[in-house]
Amino acid sequence: MSGAVVLGIETSCDETAAAVVRDGRIVLSSVVASQTDIHEEYAGVVPELASRAHVEQILPVVREALAAAGVGLGLIDAVAVGHRPGLIGSLLVGVSAAKALAWSLDKPLIGVDHVRAHLYSGVLTEDQSPQAFDEDALFPALGLIVSGGHTAVYRLRSWTQIERLGGTIDDAIGEAFDKAAVMLGLPFPGGPALDRLAQEPGADDRAVELPISRLGRESLDFSFSGLKTALLYQVKGVPNAREPVEPLPLTPKRKRDLAASFQRAAVEAVRIKLERAADGGGYKSLVTGGGVTANSRLRAELAAFAGAKGLKLLLPPMRYCMDNAAMIAGLGARQLAAGLVDDLTLQAEPTTSVAQAPSR
Ligand code: KG4
Ligand code: ZN
């Protein structure tokens, strides 16, 4: 790569983030201003509050990222921004800021797909002179995204040539974790809290047999709504049952067991789909990303899976699992090198359409 220095901006959901990345890999700074405090009392992200907070945070966060990187605006080679998918009002803040910066600096503007950037996040490093990286050893790669908004598997021929093989037909896995956490009375955001509870001593992941979704025999799609409903019935009892059974009291031990059982079923559903997707695909690596790659059980399972299949595993460092702008700047640098740049007509888009899926 060219050693380009890219400023990345990310505002697709409830994190305002900016980062400076050199050579597509080396993170010089990564600043994330979380809005957790704002959305906590609603136990979910409120779009209108999110976009207002982005407006307040965007300039301080960009300034902080430049200062932390020790890079003035004059040294930036391009501005990359997550422009899809996400909450439209939130995306617009980042896209507008990126356009203004790119225009005033007279530098290329690069629209980056947030989900693909998650796939890229395992490449990021803070090591200033990292070991050389043999890209040919990665592709074709099997990709897995597990986040609050997305759960999907991909075939990657390169970082910019990506085909979606399957995805969730209802809830995303992170959303299911968050809703399960609400049922168990855990604090927002629920995924990490549920993970911690499931790791507590004495948590029995076999205490309750929750459904592991497989769908059709060859399906690479996911479904988490059945698992979520099964947990709800464990907590609240089955509605309209012919012979109603009082649910067991939600004691600390019962909560731990339910958390561990839920986590086992959710992770196993992912493993089964990876197993199917990997079959006969001639993959050299497994590249993963999204908030749920922070999950302790999934991380262990992915390492075991990749080891057993002889795949090189790219698992993001913990700080790049959740939404961040380093992944946007990193993939932005790859797009820059491939000539995939945009102009000021770049739009914020709430979804990634199927038509856009195969290449970019
Ligand atoms: O990728 P991300 O930051 O946002 C989206 O693009 O959606 O993912 C956030 C999701 C949330 O649902 C959060 O609960 C989940 O990732 N998450 C976890 C863990 N850490 C974050 N889920 C399970 N276990 C965790 N340790
Ligand atoms: Zn994300």
DSSP string across 293-335:
GG-HHHHHHHHHHHHHHT-EEE---GGGTSS-SHHHHHHHHHH
Burial grade of 296 (CB within 10 A; 0-12, 13-18, 19 or more): middle
pLDDT for the residue numbered 359: 41
pLDDT for the residue numbered 136: 82
Q: State pTM to two decimals.
A: 0.92
Q: Which of 328, 295, 319, 294 is nearest to 12 (CA)?
A: 328
pLDDT band at residue 48 under the 50/70/90 scheme: confident
Asked if 272 and 213 count as a contact pair (C-beta separation under 8 A), the reply is no
What does the pLDDT look like over 146-176, one tens digit per residue? 999 899 999 999 999 999 999 999 999 999 9
Q: Is the CB of 328 under 6 A from ligand 1?
A: no
Query: Average pLDDT for residues 268-287, to the nearest whole number?
Result: 96
What does the pLDDT look like over 77-109, one tens digit per residue? 999 999 999 999 999 999 999 999 999 999 999
Distinct helix (H) and strand (E) counts, the chain: 10, 10
Query: Average pLDDT for residues 7-15, to the nearest whole number?
Result: 94
Asked if 170 and 195 count as a contact pair (C-beta separation under 8 A), the reply is no
Window from 92-96, 241-245, 326-330 with minimum mean pLDDT: 241-245
**Diameter over CA atoms, the chain:** 72
Q: What are the DSSP E strand ranges found in the chain?
A: 5-10, 15-22, 26-34, 78-84, 109-113, 141-146, 151-156, 162-167, 285-289, 312-314
Window from 23-32, 34-43, 45-54 with minimum mean pLDDT: 34-43
Q: Is the CB of 115 under 6 A from ligand 1?
A: no
226: pLDDT strictly greater than 80:
yes
353: pLDDT strictly greater than 80:
no
Q: Is the CB of 171 under 6 A from ligand 1?
A: no
Q: For a substitution probing ligand 1, which of 11, 292, 321, 351 has the most ligand atoms within 8 Å of its CB?
A: 292
Asked if 27 and 126 count as a contact pair (C-beta separation under 8 A), the reply is yes
Cα 138 to middle of ligand 1, angstroms: 25
